[in-house]
Every structure is written in C-alpha cells, then in structure tokens.
C-alpha cells in the first residue's frame, strides 16, 4: 500500500478508488491500473483532494484519455479523472468560460450556438478542454491556444492561479511553462481547471454547418468505430506522418491484438478491445523504426505513454 492509499481524506464529494483499472478511462481501452484514482465531483472538490495529497505523491491528470497510453503495469501514484459530464461553458464578459472537464465537441457546439466562428475544429477532438490546453490540440488550421485569453490552474497546494498565454511556450501539440513561470513556481505539475476563450464573431448556422461538414470528413477518413488514440505521431515539417507510414507499406501491420489502421495509417487501432498496451507500444516502435529505416525521417510521438511496463 502506498501512503496515498492509506491516507485518510476528509470532506470529499467525489469517488475514490484503489487499484482502479484505467482501460475504461482511455480511448485505446488498454492498460493497467492506478494505485489511486479520484473522480472529483467538481473543481472545488478536486482542489480539496489535491490539497490533501501527500506532497511527494505522483499525480497524473486524465481527461478523456484520448491521447494517452497507460502501460500494462499501471500507474504508481494517483490519477485524477478530469472529464466531467456535468461540466459547463458560459459566456462571461464577451468570452467563453469553459471547465477543463468539458468535452471539446460540447465547447464547439456551445460556441457555434452563441454565434462564434472558428471553434468548429474542436468538434473533431474527442478530448476535454483540459487535455486540449495541455496538448494545444488542433486540426484544420485551428489550435486551442490561438483562442485562449486566460487559463485557470490548480497548484499542488490546492490553490488556484490564473495564467495567460505569455506564461507558456506554445507550439505544435506542445505547451511548456515559460522560463519566467518555471522560475517562479515549483516543479510540480499544475492541472488546468478552466479557460476563457475568445472566438471571432460569426454566424451560428454557418458554424453548425461547418461542424457537420468536419465530422462527416472525419468519419470518412478515420477509424472512429474502433478504439484508437487519434494520430500517434506528429506530422513532420512539410509532410504527413500518415503518408510516410503508408508509403512504408505498414497499413494493416499487426502486433498482438492491435494494428495500423487500414483507413488512416497514423492511427493504431485495438479492434477487439483486448490488446495489451505493450502490443500498442511495440507497434509504435516498429512503425517508427521502419519509417526511419526506409525514409530517414524520425517520427515524433504525439500520444503520451505513461506508467510501468
């Protein structure tokens, strides 16, 4: 038993579990257990939980787990599930405020219904707002941080801070603390708990049509009927990872219960939902090595791999 497992928490309203299977919290539907899992009731409940965590307890946030592979040995530490089906967006001072636990497609629809343009790309990202902030998720030319005015974070001591884009170095699928922020704050990871977005004014009907159009394109291009985690690799400059993987003849290549999607070569699918995380990781490695050997291009992983083998 770890200290966090035997720790006595007070005043919590969420759900606490130990040795909790994480497969159902990830879109790949694979992987091991978390020593401790907490599903907070809301933002304040999360803060109360985090404030009581032993300071040296490893802490990992999971949104909808749509960009995360949890290894079969699981997570030695605590996982907080940030996705909250009750999470909301509201209009405040001309900005859209969204909880980190809100699913991105809901934010896209909320923005469209409120006459905003350019939020449509979020409809195709099956993660949370918090995950989109952590990843700078994007597609079809849109990127999350292009529209963030402020973000709220929860620190390990259980207090909230408001950050601005200037506090981060933001790149393609990458968000790191700016040196000024890193110097001021402890090393411990902060959790995104909310953000305020500014989208340009647009037309609600046009935005809703665009969402439908984007989703139809995705259904045609991506294996959405099978467990997957979206694009496994970042696109290299001026090229597409999927093009390189397909050119190497890897579509359909299988290891254990998992294979490279025939529909989209940068997706790895877990068709029967029985694959080991180790098979997925082995296939990622095989694809990377094959592409390197045949094309000289070093593919960089976009999905995050966590936990013990």
Q: Compute the distance between CA of residue 291 and CA of residue 297 in angstroms, rounded to an integer.
A: 6
Residue 93 is given by DSSP the state T
**C-alpha distances out from residue 99 to 67, 143, 148, 222, Å:** 19, 18, 13, 28
Q: Does 270 bind ligand FAD (CB under 6 A)?
A: no
Name the minimum Å distance from CB 100 to ligand FAD: 4
Q: Would residue 300 show up in a list of annotated catalytic residues for this protein? A: no
Name the minimum Å distance from CB 136 to ligand FAD: 7
Closest CA to 303 of 76, 35, 70, 77: 70
Mask: binding to ligand FAD, 116-155, rule CB under 6 A, as x and -? --------xxxxx-xxx-xx-xxx----------------
Closest CA to 31 of 260, 254, 309, 232: 309
> Contacting ligand FAD (CB under 6 A), which of 27, 36, 258, 266?
27
> 67 or 253: whose CB is closer to ligand FAD?
67
**Residue listed under structure tokens 């636990």:** 101
Catalytic residue among 43, 173, 210, 259: 173
267 in Cβ contact with 228 (< 8 Å): yes
Name the minimum Å distance from CB 25 to ligand FAD: 8
Name the minimum Å distance from CB 296 to ligand FAD: 26
For residue 115, give both structure tokens: 């006459």
> 237 or 294: whose CB is closer to ligand FAD?
237
Name the minimum Å distance from CB 238 to ligand FAD: 18
Counting beta carbons within 10 angstroms of the beta carbon of residue 148, is it exposed (0 to 12), middle (13 to 18) or buried (19 or more)? Answer: buried
Q: Is 280 left (phi over 0), alpha (psi -120 to 50) or beta?
A: alpha
3-state secondary structure of 256: coil
> Contacting ligand FAD (CB under 6 A), which of 36, 66, 84, 266?
66
Mask: binding to ligand FAD, 225-264, rule CB under 6 A, as x and -? ---xxx----------------------------------
Q: Does 62 bind ligand FAD (CB under 6 A)?
A: yes
Q: Does 74 bind ligand FAD (CB under 6 A)?
A: no
Q: Would residue 302 show up in a list of annotated catalytic residues for this protein? A: yes
Q: Would residue 43 show up in a list of annotated catalytic residues for this protein? A: no
Residue 261 CB partners (closer than 8 Å, separation 6+): 222, 223, 226, 228, 251, 267, 268, 269
**Residue listed under structure tokens 């190497």:** 248
Tell me the catalytic residues.
173, 231, 302
Binding footprint of ligand FAD on the chain (CB under 6 A): 27, 60-68, 82, 100, 124-128, 130-132, 134-135, 137-139, 173, 191-192, 222, 224, 228-230, 304
């Amino acid at each position: 038993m770890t200290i966090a497992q035997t720790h006595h928490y007070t005043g919590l309203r969420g759900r606490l579990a130990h040795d909790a299977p994480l497969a159902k919290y990830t879109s790949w539907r694979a992987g091991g257990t978390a020593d401790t899992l907490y599903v907070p009731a809301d933002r304040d409940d999360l803060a109360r939980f985090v404030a009581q965590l032993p300071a040296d307890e490893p802490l990992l946030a999971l949104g909808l787990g749509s960009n995360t592979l949890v290894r079969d040995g699981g997570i030695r530490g605590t996982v907080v599930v940030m996705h909250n089906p009750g999470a909301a967006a509201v209009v405040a001072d001309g900005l859209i405020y969204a909880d980190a636990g809100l699913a991105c497609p809901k934010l896209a629809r909320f923005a469209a219904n409120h006459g905003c343009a350019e939020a449509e790309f979020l409809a195709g990202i099956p993660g949370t707002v918090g995950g989109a902030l952590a990843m700078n998720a994007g597609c079809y030319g849109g990127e999350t941080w292009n529209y963030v005015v402020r973000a709220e974070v929860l620190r390990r001591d259980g207090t909230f801070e408001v950050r601005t884009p200037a506090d981060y170095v933001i790149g393609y699928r990458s968000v790191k603390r700016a040196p000024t922020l890193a110097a001021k704050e402890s090393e411990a990871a902060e959790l995104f708990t909310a953000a305020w977005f500014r989208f340009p004014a647009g037309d609600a009907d046009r935005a809703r049509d665009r969402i439908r159009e984007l989703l139809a394109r995705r259904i045609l291009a991506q294996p959405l009927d099978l467990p997957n985690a979206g694009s496994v690799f970042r696109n290299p400059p001026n090229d597409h990872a999927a093009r390189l993987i397909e050119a190497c003849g890897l579509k359909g290549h299988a290891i254990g219960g998992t294979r490279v999607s025939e529909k989209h070569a940068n997706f790895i699918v877990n068709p029967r939902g029985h694959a080991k995380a180790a098979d997925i990781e082995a296939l990622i490695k095989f694809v990377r090595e094959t592409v390197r050997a045949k094309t000289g291009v070093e593919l960089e992983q976009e999905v995050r791999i966590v936990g013990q083998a």
